[in-house]
Structure 1
Amino acid sequence: MTDLAGASWRKSTRSGGSGGNCVEVADNLAGVVGVRDSKDPTGPALAFAPARWNAFVAEVKGQPQS
């Protein structure tokens, strides 16, 4: 299990203020990127290797991976 206790969570600036379906990302920890549901901050979180997370974000944005 990955320790995300020191994670600094942030929500996308594109998220509305209505508390809709949003995720939060923590990329301040060495070797791991955490992802969680903003509506359930004490619930489970996913942990990704930074390279895997970057590949996912690039794919979502439709950008070629470097």
Structure 2
Amino acid sequence: MGQRQYWVIDADISKYFDSIDHKHLRSFLDLRITDGVIRRMIDKWLKAGVLEGGSLQNSVTGPRREA
């Protein structure tokens, strides 16, 4: 008889979160999250920006990190 096969899939998706477009992310979250409080909290996190070298960097994508 046939033997069972097991698969292991390894994927590095960390760079995806460095470059995801916030507009695309929000539209996806609109489909998945219906709680308005949670959505507003996520929107605030996305709008918060990143403090780099003493200056505030606002962006429409995730933070860029040098490899």
**TM-score exceeds 0.5:** no
Higher relative contact order (CA 8 A, sep 6+): 2
Determine which structure has the larger helix proportion and give its number: 2
Give the alignment's TM-score, normalised by structure 2: 0.28
